[in-house]
Structure formats: C-alpha cells, structure tokens
Chains A and B, each alone.
Chain A
Amino acid sequence: MRFLIHQESRQGSRKSNQDRIAYSYSRESLIMAVADGMGGHLHGEIAAHIAVKFLIEAFQSQARPRLEDPLRFLLDSITNAHLAILGYAEGRNMPETPRTTFVACVIQGGVAFWAHVGDSRLYLIRDGQVHAVTKDHSRVQQLVDIGRVREEAVANHPDRNKVYNCLGQSHLPRIETSRRTPLRRGDTILLCTDGLWGPLSTRTIVEAVLKDEVLKAMPAMMNTAEARAGSDGDNLSAIGLAWLGEEALDPEVPRSISTKTMQMSDVATQTAGFGKDGAADFLSDDEIERAIREIRGAISDAGTSGKL
C-alpha cells in the first residue's frame, strides 16, 4: 500500500479536548478512527478514548496482515467498543455513561470500508468532487432529509449538536456501514469531527484538498476551521489520507507487519492513565458473588416455595 497520511487534533477554544483519533496499519491493511466525546455527557473523552483504543487494539490483533472481513470487523469491534464503554461506566458506578460519536475506515486490498455512529464524518473526495460522505445521525440531518433545513444551514442550526445515535448510549447503537468502495489513485479520504466540518462548507473542504498535497492541505484546513469558529470553537480533529495505489511499497512505509499506533497530536497522549488495559476489570469475582447474593435475597423476599 502506498499512501500519504496526516492526522491532527486540536483543542479549539474548549477547556479540554474530548476528541480522540488514531490510525494503524499492517503490511496489507490500514485503519483510521476518529471519535468525538460528547460534551453534554460526563467524561465524553473517556468514551472516545475507549472507543479508539478498542478499535485499534482489535485491528492490531486481527490484521495479520489482513482482516478476514473488514465490514464484519468494523461492526463487531464497534459494538464491542460500545459494550466496553458501558462496562467501564458500570464498573465504576459512574452516574452517567460517557458517550462518543465514532467513524472508522479500513483500507485493504485497495478497497475502502467504513462505518460510523453519530455526526463525525468521512468524506471520499475523487476527481475534485465529494464521491461519498457519511450521513450524520443527528436531529438536524433528519430535518435536512425531510426538507425542513437546507444542507448549508446545518452548521448554524440550533439542533446541530443533537446526536441521536452514539456509542455509550443505553441501547445498542445503530452502526451504519458503507459498501465496499474500490479506491483510485488520487482519492482522498478525510475523517473528521464536527469541529472541522462544522465551520467549513463542502466546497471549502474540497478546494483545500485540491489545492495542496494532503500533508499540507490538512493543517491549512484545520487553520481555516479554527479561525472561522472563533472564540467558542469546538475541539477539531481530522485524519486525511491520499491514496497512491496498491503497488510497490513506499520506502517510507515499513515492510514489516507493523501495527504501531501513531498518535501525532500531543492532545491524544494526554489521555493516558485513566483506562486500564485489563479486560477483567469490568466485573470482578467479588462483584459476581455480590450480584448473586443480591438476586437470591430478592428471590427469598418475594416469597418462594422453599426450593432455594
């Protein structure tokens, strides 16, 4: 695989950065993931962190060097990331489960597959046009769908932040997946949070991508978005990838089955220290025993026929 990639996460004017982004690749497969922890909910950054970390780790363990079925992988691991967030919150008796949007894209065999939940987006830009873009799971997008709001008015709509589908919600999120989309040389894939797409029109995004190669275009696009958002700008994060083709490996890209996660932004590294790696911390043996005692107590209280 041959590609150029740039990722960046900025705090904007907020007190903290609740966005998390990462990418990882093996010799034959690549994943990019972007999560925007939801500010209205407690500790959105925890949800975003768990989600991105979970996907990247799942990718690292399964892409050897290819994923068996990329769409299946996205569905299964995003669902499990959601469950991991719920488990984390329950294990710590958090009053409210942290929530996050999520978008991830796998490229394998020259074909892209993506999935999203919420209003973080993926754009596929081809021949100077938006070839594909995810549809937000937001109230305002629903209004666009029924013709009540124009596409251009989305960014300033009062309901812009009302996301009805996210990871960490009480019921299972609906994970929307793409078709398998073969890539062409010159395609650009952009994954971003609403802090980036919100202040920019689709045309601005396309023009920025056309103007320069992705390594320069991305920071420029971030600058524009940050400047336009002004003093109450949201966190903004993006990963941009320019696809150069499936042929001979670029010398820059290690030949080895490297699964190293690269987090270029120092913001992403600030999150270390809250999440334990261990799986078992979701429910300890003591907790299991306690739950069983509690249920047996309730059964006795409800008055059984002496079968206990």
Chain B
Amino acid sequence: MPSHNNQPLPDGYQLQGYRIERLLSSGGFSLVYLGADEQGGQVAIKEYLPASLALRQEGDVVPAVPEENLAVFRYGMKCFFEEGRSLARLSHPNVIRVLNFFRANQTVYLVMRYEQGRTLQEDIARNRGALRENYIRRVMTLMLNGLREVHTNKLLHLDLKPANIYVREDDTPVLIDFGAARQMLTESEYSLSPMYTPGYAPPEQYRQRELMGPWSDLYSVGAAMYACLSGQAPPPADQRVQQDRYVPAVEQFSDRYTVQLLETIDWCLQIDHLRRPQSALALQKVLLRERDPAVAGRRTFVAGLRSSLGLLAGRSREL
C-alpha cells in the first residue's frame, strides 16, 4: 500500500457543532484536531482516517476509500468504536473524558476534553530520565487512580506507556489513548513494525493472552517508572522471556532513588505475572508507603540489594 499524507480538515472548518482550530497531531490511524464547541470551549477531536486505506486530497473533505480497502477501512472503524465504547463508560479525573461521538464525512469522530500539558514521555526526554522520585511517585499514584477506574469497569488499557500518560499543568496525570484495539490497524499499515510498544508490553501480551489481567497493565506501569529513571524502556518482554538481560532497577539506580521505589519497579517487571502486584490498589499502597515517615526513615543506599520477592508479595497480600 502506498503511503501518503492525508490532508487535514482546513482550519476554521465547521464540523457539526464544532469549529476546527488546528491540527494537533496525526498518526497512521487518525488525526487529532483542536476544536471549539458552541460555547467556545476547547475540545480535542479525533478523526478516524487510516493513512494507508483512505486518501483525502487537498481541497476535499470526504476521504476517498478505494473499493478494495473498504472492508479493512470499515473494520478499523470498529476498532475506533471500541476505543469510544471503552472511554465512554469511564468518568474519572485521571482518565481522558469523552464528550461526544458522531459520524460525518463518511468517517467517525471522537470528541474529548482538551487538556493542556505534556506527556510523561516529553518529561522523560527533557530530563533524559532521572525524574525526581517524589514526582514519579505522585504522578504514578494519581495515574493509578485512573487505572483502578479502568480495571473496575472490567477493561484493560493494554498500551500504557509514558507517551500515553498526559500530565496537566498542575502535574496531575490523565490516561489517554485507549486504543489497544487501534493497534490492529496501525499494524496493518506498517506490517514490519513491532506488534506492541516494545519494552512496555508484558510477556503475556505477546503469547499467552489468556493470562492477561490487571497485572498486565501493572507491568507496563513498572516499565514506565523504569523509563522515568533510565530514560528508556526496559528490554522487550519477548526477548526477556528468551534471555533476560534486564538488570534490576535496584542494582542500577540506588545512588539516586530509594530502594523501596526500585524494588517496587522490579516487582512490577517480574516476567511471571503471578509475582507482580495483582491490583492497581496494591501497587498504589506501596508507592504511598515511602511517604510514611517511619518507612522514609529507613532510606538506604546499599547497592545490589536484591528484592525479596516473597516478602514483597506477602506485603501486598497483607495490604
């Protein structure tokens, strides 16, 4: 399939009750615009427009979908609906809020609350990792509130990574991009690209999908925390299963972070899903614990102190 760039809707375009202000971002699967609603409030509008299947040329509004692509285009639309369905059920300050969903221009649109801020990925890139421990704990603990809401609704995020954790200007996080289904299509466009976001996806997401549960998202949380320290994701889980080159965080970063945080990261990044925290709440409690002065007093800098997994697991049960 030839690759090409789709033309965005023109600035000022009136899309049902919204006015398009400008293009915010474009990916292989969709375009995201900044828009204004009838009261002048700002919204983010995501337009389903898979680059490899549909072409919108300069001056057009309705994209052309060649007949041979129609089936896959419509299939991808289903994936887009899945994202809408997942998000529509969730109403939580740490989860991106869906405001509207409609059909126009022979495609579909998802309207979301517009948040000002930056992604955690941008924070990491700016600091080359090495984010402050307090910041990591605060952002992750609040983000886990949103993730608990996701899990309570019997959903899994399945694509948690720093680029999908948006941090508002007041440093509160919001989970964005619930497009695990979305991956289906972006992959078909670039069949050679990896199936998952390497480094953030848990081992069971590659092979044993039936083992997936909240602990799968928590592996990704661990990987995101690891990236906050090191500037990059841990080794991809499929490689770790073959030959594990992951050096425990507790052996790498104990000069700058508490052992308790590092052990928590290593706990999340266990290959065996049963040895990870089993719920977002369990992880949240451990992340909060350092704030407890009694624990903070035990801050230690001994490098190479391996976590005792039995102890950690026991601790989570006792929580």
Contacts and interface: CB of A to CB of B under 8 A. Distances in A.
Partners in one complex: yes
A185 to B, nearest CB: 32
Contacts of A301: 89
Given A61-B68, A171-B205, A295 B101 contact: yes
B99 A307 contact: yes
B70 interface: yes
A140 to B, nearest CB: 14
A285 to B, nearest CB: 9
B75 to A, nearest CB: 4
Contact of A174 (B37, B100, B195, B208): B195
A177 to B, nearest CB: 9
Contacts of A87: 71-72, 74-75, 78
Given A83-B184, A87-B75, A87-B78, A308 B99 contact: yes
Contact of B209 (A171, A283, A302): A171
Interface residues of B, number: 41
A295 B195 contact: no
B187 A84 contact: no
Given A76-B188, A291-B81, A295-B81, A302 B75 contact: no
Contacts, number: 110
In this complex, the member of A164, A170, A291 whose beta carbon has the largest number of chain B beta carbons within 10 angstroms is A291
Given A76-B188, A283-B74, A288-B77, A298 B89 contact: yes
B87 to A, nearest CB: 9
Nearest to A87: B75
A308 B100 contact: yes
Contact of A175 (B43, B78, B191): B191
A280 B103 contact: no
B206 to A, nearest CB: 8
A291 B67 CA distance: 23
A286 to B, nearest CB: 12
B98 interface: yes
B70 A280 contact: yes
B105 to A, nearest CB: 13
Interface in B91-113: 91, 97-103, 108, 111
A75 interface: yes
A75 B192 contact: yes
A141 B208 CA distance: 16
B72 A298 contact: no
A172 interface: yes
A79 interface: yes
B101 A172 contact: no
A90 interface: yes
Contacts of A84: 71-72, 75
Given A172-B195, A295-B85, A79 B78 contact: no
A299 interface: yes
B75 A283 contact: yes
A80 B207 CA distance: 21
A296 interface: yes
Contact of A80 (B98, B99, B108, B188): B188
A288 B108 contact: yes
Nearest to A283: B74
B314 to A, nearest CB: 32
Interface in A123-173: 164, 169-172
Contacts of B67: 279
Given A83-B75, A87-B71, A299-B100, A164 B207 contact: yes
A82 B15 CA distance: 34
Contact of A90 (B43, B78, B88, B188): B78
A264 interface: no
A87 B75 CA distance: 6
Interface string A64-75: 000000001001
A282 B75 contact: yes
Interface in B210-253: none
B183 A172 contact: yes
Interface string A54-98: 000000010000000000100110011001101100100000000
In this complex, the member of A175, A279, A294, A296 whose beta carbon has the largest number of chain B beta carbons within 10 angstroms is A279
Contacts of B37: 307
Contact of B91 (A80, A175, A303): A303
Given A86-B75, A175-B191, A76 B1 contact: yes
B103 A289 contact: yes
A11 to B, nearest CB: 30
Interface in B60-76: 67-68, 70-72, 74-75
B84 A295 contact: yes
Given A307-B99, A307-B100, A302 B90 contact: yes
B41 interface: yes
A95 to B, nearest CB: 16
A270 interface: no
A279 B71 contact: yes
Contacts of B184: 83, 86, 172
Contacts of A304: 97, 99
B103 A79 contact: no
Contacts of B205: 171
B99 A298 contact: no
Contacts of A307: 37, 41, 43, 99-100, 111
Given A83-B75, A295-B84, A305-B99, 7 more contacts: A90-B78, A172-B183, A174-B195, A295-B81, A296-B101, A302-B91, A303-B91
6 contacts: A83-B188, A84-B72, A164-B207, A280-B71, A282-B78, A304-B97
Q: Which 8 A-B pairs have the closest CB atoms?
A: A279-B71, A298-B88, A75-B191, A283-B74, A302-B91, A79-B188, A87-B75, A295-B101
